[in-house]
Structure 1
Amino acid sequence: MTIDPILLLIAAPLVFALGWLASRLDLKQLRLEGQRAPKAYFKGLNHLLNEQQDQAIDAFIEAVRDDPDTSELHFALGNLFRRRGEYQRAVRVHEHLLARGDLSEADRQRARHALALDFLKAGLLDRAEEAFAALDGSPLQAQARLGRLAIYERTREWARAAAMAESLEGTGLGSFQTRRAHHTCELAAEALAEGRTADAHRLLSEAQRIAPQAARPRLDQIQLLLREGRPTEAWEALLDLFRRVPSAAPLAAQAAVAAARGCGQVPEAAERLRALYQAHPSIDLLEALVALNQDVLGDEARARQAYVEHLERTPSLIAASRWIAGEKLEHEQCHPLVQRALDQAVRPLERYRCAACGFEAREHHWHCPGCQAWDSYPPRRVEEL
């Protein structure tokens, strides 16, 4: 069968014209889709910068719907859900990413890490630990081990926490010496609760070796020595603490009173605490100094004059309450009522406050019960902050 050359001459331009028209339509469609996706993306970014998370999530959902293959949008959306506390939605986003067959290995590891963080924030610690453990040997191994460390600290598995913190040294995530010292102190507390005093001493010495600048191992050792009736050794340890970590002196003030009385070093202790108080005034140091002054002077009124001197330096409702408690007022029958009102007023001021999350507690904590941060409680009362 032969084809008429004239038909070929007529068909060729027609085919070319149809192909050109089809390509123009495809380009136009691609351009429209490309314009629509970035517009939604930048709209979401603008909401995010303005801290309008609800609107940002809606915009990112629209962008993901228009371009479901964009993994970065999925990551942004999942992180937003996690920050808002919508952990189930965050988990679904990251699991959807992991189910994609075209995901690169680097993005797959990112998705596993993000999913582990979702589980951690949701309190699903077993699943979080399993997801973090799956990242061993990957470029995200250090970050994953940091997540596992947070899990062990939350579940109070101090031996595993200490081992994990040691493995993180030198990874570029900062120093873990102080954190390791805390873990060792927690192990010492467990040993002491089980009656293993020798192990407790050994662990506290190890904690001091790990972090010589840390206050807690020395404070815990001082308390243990006092508990064992060894005030002279406790006093020597206190002198070492005052020399190395003077900022922790308020936390050791009452221990200093007990140790000084036990080993007959009251005058020297009063001088030491007076010097520390002059450099860094503190209610705890003031109260310890008043107690020691009573022993030295034998005159309660003269010893309590320190409260007045403190009030001359700085307003303090706590100091005023302590001073009034020992004074004879003109209307003495009203004194108990006034004192009860003052005691109630100063009670919130005597607390300690976490500098990271603001959680307040009656006792000083090394590990914040609220945000799980270490060393976030200043050694000063709320009134002094």
Structure 2
Amino acid sequence: MELDLMWILVGLPLAFGLGWLASRLDLRQLRIDNRQAPRAYFKGLNYLLNEQQDQAIDAFIEAVQNDPDTSELHFALGNLFRRRGEYERAVRVHEHLMQRGDLSLADRQRAQHGLALDFLKAGLLDRAEDALRKLEGTSFEGQARLARLAIYERSREWPQASEVAQQLENSGEANFAVRQAHYLCEQARECQAQSDAAGAQKLLLQALKTAPQASRARILLGQLQLSLGQAIQALQTLNPLFETNALAAPLAAATLARAAKDAKDAHPIQATLILLQTHYALAPCLDVMEAMVTLEAASPDTVATSRSRYIDHLNQHPSLIAASRWLAGETLAHENFHPPIQAALELAAKPLARYRCAACGFEAKEHFWHCPGCQAWDSYPPRRVEEL
């Protein structure tokens, strides 16, 4: 009995001492780990600020290994992988975050948004769309809808784009009336490609009603009416562009001149010519001037004026395009020099006759309402490069 009591008296202090020593060792290791994690984190941050992304990734991986439960490090690592173009690794990081049971609702939604961006950057549009749909009703709802809108525009799914744009407008994000008119115009073009003129006309009239201030629907409708032999209706559709001095009026000048000629009536030609002259006086433009030349050449009373129109334009607005087109209709005294001079002018003027996107600088022979380079809307000025 005395022996048992002695062992108890000796064992209790010994156990206490061992426990105290173990706790001190654990605390020391914890302090070391806590020092190592911030050190790796700040090292990664320093690399990131110096734009050394490879070294930053290595530092953040080290920090995550030291403290695998820190969600902020996982988010930083996932964003870095995505910026580096390592989309599979970014996806794995965000999927790992979403599988954690201790993640808060806000962080789970953040991880879902990061995952959607990973798929979007990787070009996996179907998976990105599914991931973005799961963000409805969250704080990322507006961003997710804008991303879905970009997906639908990129894949030319105009009805779906229209639906999302309406949702964004209803939530107060912005006014999407002009964008909605563009979607209707795109669907009208598809109808025309399928020889469905009635369907195209219906969509264009709807686009005009949706955004009366937008010029594209009016221009396309006038072109469609002219192709259907409805010259008077085309004139009525296009005239408001010139009466209000719309910026896009030069894009409709050639169609307006053809409609006036096809009307087979001297009055539409004279009225249209006056309208074009008035617009040209306010905003001189090569396309409007050429439409005037077309109408003046069709009338015996003004054919002499049409010949000098290019010279008048060149006196006020030096232009290689105008010089080339004037030369094409003239007979020079030294006829042998005419073809090489004409060819040289046309070659020099060719790059200047393009249209250029104001957002990304993408140039094209034709005017685009939706830039094929940067996907921006209404970024092409209605004037050619030489006139900018």
Q: TM-score, normalised by structure 2?
A: 0.85
Distance in 2 between residues matched to 1:245 and 1:90, nearest whole Å: 51
Which residue, out of 313, 337, 340, partners 2:340?
A: 337
1:310 pairs with 2:313: yes
Unpaired runs of 5+ in structure 1?
A: none
Distance in 1 between residues matched to 2:12 and 2:56, nearest whole Å: 57
1:23 Cα deviation from its structure 2 partner: 7.0
> Quick one: which amino acid aligns to residue 367 of structure 2?
H
Q: Bigger shift: 1-10 or 126-135?
A: 1-10
1:323 pairs with 2:345: no
Q: Pick closer, same or farther for the CA change 1:304–1:244 going to 2, 3 Å.
A: same
Contact persistence 2:37–2:66 (CA under 8 A): no
> Quick one: which amino acid aligns to residue 171 of structure 1?
S
1:29 Cα deviation from its structure 2 partner: 1.2
Distance in 2 between residues matched to 1:99 and 1:80, nearest whole Å: 20
Contact persistence 2:352–2:386 (CA under 8 A): yes
> Quick one: which amino acid aligns to residue 33 of structure 1?
Q
The aligned residue for residue 270 of structure 1 is: 273
The aligned residue for residue 215 of structure 1 is: 215
Partner SS state of residue 247, structure 2: helix
Unpaired runs of 5+ in structure 2?
A: none
Distance in 1 between residues matched to 2:299 and 2:156, nearest whole Å: 45
The aligned residue for residue 233 of structure 2 is: 233
Q: Pick closer, same or farther for the CA change 1:9–1:189 going to 2, 3 Å.
A: closer
Distance in 1 between residues matched to 2:299 and 2:85, nearest whole Å: 58
The aligned residue for residue 170 of structure 1 is: 170
Distance in 1 between residues matched to 2:292 and 2:169, nearest whole Å: 41
Q: Bigger shift: 288-297 or 177-186?
A: 288-297
Per-residue deviation, residues 207-266 of structure 1 (Å, max 9, x unmatched): 112112111111111111111111111111112223456101111011111122223322
Per-residue deviation, residues 167-196 of structure 1 (Å, max 9, x unmatched): 221324322111111111222233334444
Q: Bigger shift: 59-68 or 143-152?
A: 59-68
Partner SS state of residue 50, structure 2: helix
Per-residue deviation, residues 98-122 of structure 1 (Å, max 9, x unmatched): 2333322222222222222222232
1:26 Cα deviation from its structure 2 partner: 4.3
Partner SS state of residue 247, structure 1: coil
Q: Pick closer, same or farther for the CA change 1:226–1:15 going to 2, 3 Å.
A: same
The aligned residue for residue 105 of structure 1 is: 105
Contact persistence 2:184–2:204 (CA under 8 A): yes
Partner SS state of residue 229, structure 1: coil
Q: What RMSD, in angstroms, separates the aligned Cα atoms of the two structures?
A: 3.1
Partner SS state of residue 248, structure 2: helix
Q: Pick closer, same or farther for the CA change 1:244–1:39 going to 2, 3 Å.
A: same
1:272 Cα deviation from its structure 2 partner: 1.9
Q: Pick closer, same or farther for the CA change 1:61–1:20 going to 2, 3 Å.
A: closer
Distance in 1 between residues matched to 2:23 and 2:57, nearest whole Å: 40
1:36 Cα deviation from its structure 2 partner: 0.5
Distance in 1 between residues matched to 2:9 and 2:95, nearest whole Å: 61
Q: How many residues align?
A: 382
Distance in 1 between residues matched to 2:320 and 2:174, nearest whole Å: 41
The aligned residue for residue 124 of structure 1 is: 124
Distance in 2 between residues matched to 1:121 and 1:306, nearest whole Å: 52
Contact persistence 1:297–1:303 (CA under 8 A): no
Partner SS state of residue 170, structure 2: coil
Q: Pick closer, same or farther for the CA change 1:72–1:297 going to 2, 3 Å.
A: farther
Partner SS state of residue 69, structure 1: coil
Q: Pick closer, same or farther for the CA change 1:13–1:128 going to 2, 3 Å.
A: closer
Q: Pick closer, same or farther for the CA change 1:367–1:54 going to 2, 3 Å.
A: farther
1:156 pairs with 2:156: yes
1:378 pairs with 2:381: yes
The aligned residue for residue 190 of structure 1 is: 190
Q: TM-score, normalised by structure 1?
A: 0.86
Which residue, out of 349, 369, 372, partners 1:369?
A: 372
Partner SS state of residue 338, structure 1: helix
Distance in 1 between residues matched to 2:109 and 2:341, nearest whole Å: 64
Partner SS state of residue 169, structure 1: helix
1:18 Cα deviation from its structure 2 partner: 4.2
Q: Pick closer, same or farther for the CA change 1:121–1:6 going to 2, 3 Å.
A: closer
Q: Pick closer, same or farther for the CA change 1:103–1:22 going to 2, 3 Å.
A: same
Q: Pick closer, same or farther for the CA change 1:306–1:72 going to 2, 3 Å.
A: farther
Contact persistence 1:162–1:183 (CA under 8 A): yes
Partner SS state of residue 382, structure 2: coil
> Quick one: which amino acid aligns to residue 330 of structure 2?
E
The aligned residue for residue 350 of structure 1 is: 353
Q: Pick closer, same or farther for the CA change 1:244–1:64 going to 2, 3 Å.
A: farther
Partner SS state of residue 246, structure 1: coil
> Quick one: which amino acid aligns to residue 218 of structure 2?
R
The aligned residue for residue 42 of structure 2 is: 39
Q: Bigger shift: 222-231 or 84-93?
A: 84-93
Asked which structure has the greater CA Rg, the reply is 2
Q: Bigger shift: 337-346 or 211-220?
A: 337-346
Contact persistence 2:242–2:276 (CA under 8 A): no
